[in-house]
């Protein structure tokens, strides 16, 4: 089977590499000359564990190809995937489909024989039918079926998610397309993975609904963490208890500074706008979006409180800047709100991240960049864990303390053992720990909308 993957970004590249590892021939088409140069040389432009090895193996085998020439790749393909960006549109928060429709317009002239055109990008309900309409207008003679095949990949574990999925979702009402897509995913079906065929609208909405529900779980446990601090409970014990309930599950019940990344913020926003457009508003998800914005501001205020009420003139060591570990992705990372707020209030920032510096440096000016946690801690009054990279879970706290000027740790991910930190003389503050209530004499204020606008402007 021959596949054309239009777009070699995160979704397109991971999907292409995994499909090629099934034995299919995959041609990735991308317009970015720098990205293509890296890809042709076998270098991944993104950090994803295991991706470089997967690419190298399949490039050598001749199954994974990269080109800027769309025509031959489309003409030769059984399946054409649309894996271009669908960023949040400025002004209204809706998904920007201009890249999708441009790809459709450019691919249409080259379609030959029966071809399945399917969206791998996350797109609003009705997009597949609009693509079909545009293809018929452009090429009324083309023998084509349009499907929706959303991805459910987590950054940092995308290859595992692709090769061992909870489910593969295909939206189609065409029997020939069903046969082609069934053959495409047969290697997964033979392993016991569920390949679900549904209506196109169901597939499109399911992706948004899944991400919105996970964002809801994150916001829920973050608010429960705040309550735990007030009543003297431990959020990790609460999360473990409710996570044992199979109706709830233990995933996405880890409190922190709010969600970010390439999917949740834009997908939550797009779902809200779609629901309003169809006059079926979902107020609970609207609240999730608001709570998540305020959460990031509250974390900066928490750090300020831990510093005695002001960070002016203080040096803060920030460990981790990416929105989650095992990725270099900075999109909507909590650090993009927290760090500028601390800088605006007079703090000096020393930061490190195992993979994020290249992406973060242009977004966060004025930072002193360090190679590791020990270097970042040099002369710091406060140490803050923003992203829970594994190496921050096993810090040599004695060495850290010897380098710091102060003795305060604010752990926004509960990555450091609180008991060990306190035994060494640190003033440790985690998230949702019952004893945090005793450390904070005044109730933590709700962030003002003016703070939100200021932080977003700084970002």
Per-position DSSP letters for 177-238, written without gaps between them: HHHHHHHHTHHHHTTT--EEEE-HHHHHHHHHHHHHHHHHHHHHHHHHHHHHHHHT--HHHH
Q: Of 154, 181, 198, which residue sits at a domain end?
A: 198
pTM for the full predicted model: 0.90
Residue 451 lies in a domain: yes
pLDDT tens string 402-426 = 999 999 999 999 999 999 999 999 9
pLDDT of residue 458: 44
Q: Which residues contact 362 (CB under 8 A, 6 or more apart)?
A: none
Tally of domains in the chain: 2
Do the beta carbons of residue 126 and residue 101 sit within 8 Å? no
Q: Distance (Å, rounded) from C-alpha 192 to C-alpha 354?
A: 36
What tens digit of pLDDT does each residue of 422-452 get?
A: 999 999 999 998 654 444 434 444 444 444 4
Residue 134 — pLDDT band, cuts 50, 70, 90? very high
Q: pLDDT-derived band of residue 35, with 50, 70 and 90 as boundaries?
A: very high
CA distance 394 to 411: 13
Query: Residue 287 belongs to what H/E stretch?
Result: helix 283-306
The residues assigned a catalytic role are 263
Is there a domain that residue 248 lies in? no
Q: Answer yes or no: is 270 within a domain.
A: no
Q: How far is the C-alpha of 10 from the C-alpha of 437, rounded, in Å? A: 41
Do 450 and 340 belong together in one domain?
Answer: yes
Residue 210 within any structural domain of the chain: no
- Residue whose C-alpha is closest to residue 160's, from 122, 118, 136, 191: 191
Rounded distance between C-alpha atoms, residue 344 and residue 381, angstroms: 17
pLDDT value of position 433? 87
- Do both 152 and 11 map to the same domain? yes
Q: Is residue 29 domain-shared with residue 164, that is, in the same domain?
A: yes
Count of residues for the chain?
459
246 inside domain: no
Q: Is 194 a domain residue?
A: yes
**Do 47 and 181 sit in the same domain of this protein?**
yes
Of the residues 198, 218, 237, the one at which a domain ends: 198
Report the alpha-carbon distance of residue 100 to residue 86 in Å, rounded. 7
152 assigned to some structural domain = yes
Residue 435 is predicted with a pLDDT of 56
State the CATH number of the domain containing residue 387: 3.40.50.720
Tell me the C-alpha distance between 217 and 285, whole Å: 11
Residues 185 and 57 in one domain: yes
Would you give the end-to-end CA distance of the chain in angstroms?
A: 45
Q: Does 428 map to a domain?
A: yes
Show the DSSP H helices in 278-435 as ranges.
283-306, 335-344, 357-360, 373-376, 390-393, 397-403, 418-423
Same domain, yes or no, for 45 and 180? Answer: yes
Work out the angle between the directed axes of helices 264-277 and 200-231 (0-180°, nearest 10): 120
Order across the sheet with 382-385: list the strands: 368-369, 348-352, 315-319, 382-385, 408-411, 427-429
Same domain? 170 vs 314: no
Which one of 177, 198, 219 terminates a domain?
A: 198
Contact 183, 1 (CB under 8 A): yes
Helix/strand/coil percentages in the chain, nearest 5? 45, 15, 40
Q: Angle at the Cα of 311 (from 232 to 453), degrees rounded to 5?
A: 85
Q: Work out the mean pLDDT of the chain and round it to a whole number.
A: 93
- Residue 258 contacts residue 296 (beta carbons within 8 Å): yes
Other CB atoms within 10 Å distance of the CB of residue 91: 6
- Could you give the angle at the alpha carbon of 36 between the alpha carbons of 14 and 48, nearest 5°? 30
- Per the structure, the complete domain to which residue 159 belongs is given by 2-198
pLDDT of residue 116 exceeding 80, the answer is yes
d(CA 264, CA 215): 6
- List the structure tokens of 117: 């055109």
Q: What pLDDT does 144 receive? A: 97
Who contacts 347 (Cβ-Cβ below 8 Å, separation ≥6)?
Answer: 311, 312, 314, 315, 316
pLDDT in tens, 254-288: 999 999 998 999 999 999 999 999 999 999 999 99
For 368, the token pair is 């002193």
CA distance 137 to 135: 5
């Amino acid at each position: 089977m021959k596949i054309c993957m239009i777009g070699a970004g995160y979704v397109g590249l991971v999907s292409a590499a995994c499909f090629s590892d099934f034995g299919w021939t995959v041609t990735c088409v991308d317009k970015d000359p720098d990205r293509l140069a890296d890809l042709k040389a076998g270098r991944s432009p993104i950090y994803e564990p295991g991706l470089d090895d997967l690419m190298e193996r399949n490039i050598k085998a001749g199954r994974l190809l990269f080109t800027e020439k769309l025509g031959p790749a489309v003409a030769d393909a059984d399946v054409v995937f649309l894996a271009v960006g669908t960023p949040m549109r400025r002004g209204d928060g809706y998904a920007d489909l201009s890249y999708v429709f441009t790809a459709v317009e450019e691919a249409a002239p080259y379609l030959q024989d029966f071809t399945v055109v399917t969206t791998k990008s996350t797109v609003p309900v009705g997009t597949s039918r609009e693509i079909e309409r545009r293809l018929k207008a452009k090429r009324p003679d083309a023998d084509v079926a349009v499907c929706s095949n959303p991805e459910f990949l987590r950054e940092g574990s995308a290859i595992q998610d692709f090769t061992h999925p909870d489910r593969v979702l295909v939206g189609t009402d065409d029997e020939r397309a069903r046969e082609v897509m069934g053959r495409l995913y047969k290697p997964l079906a033979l392993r016991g993975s569920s390949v679900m065929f549904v209506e196109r609208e169901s597939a499109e909405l399911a992706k948004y609904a899944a991400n919105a529900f996970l964002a809801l779980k994150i916001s829920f446990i973050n608010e429960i963490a705040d309550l735990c601090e007030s009543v003297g409970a431990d959020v990790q014990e609460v999360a473990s208890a409710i996570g044992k309930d199979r109706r709830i599950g233990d995933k996405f019940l880890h409190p922190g500074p709010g969600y970010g990344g390439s999917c949740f913020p834009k997908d939550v926003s797009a779902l809200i706008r779609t629901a309003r457009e169809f006059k079926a508003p979902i107020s609970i998800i609207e609240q999730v979006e608001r709570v998540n914005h305020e959460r990031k501001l509250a974390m900066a205020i928490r750090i300020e409180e831990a510093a005695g009420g002001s960070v002016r003139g203080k040096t803060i060591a920030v460990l981790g800047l990416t929105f989650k570990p095992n990725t270099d992705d900075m999109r909507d990372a909590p650090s993009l709100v927290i760090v500028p707020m601390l800088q605006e209030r007079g703090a000096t920032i020393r930061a490190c991240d195992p993979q994020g510096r290249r992406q973060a440096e242009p977004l966060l000016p004025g930072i002193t960049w360090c190679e590791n946690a020990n270097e970042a801690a040099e002369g710091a009054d406060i140490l803050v864990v923003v992203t829970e990279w594994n190496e921050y879970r096993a810090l040599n706290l004695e060495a850290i303390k010897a380098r710091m000027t102060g003795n305060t740790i604010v752990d926004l991910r509960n990555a450091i053992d609180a008991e060990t930190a306190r035994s060494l003389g640190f003033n440790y503050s985690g998230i949702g720990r019952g004893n945090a209530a005793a450390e904070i004499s005044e109730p933590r204020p709700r962030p003002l909308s003016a703070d939100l606008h200021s932080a977003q402007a700084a970002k």
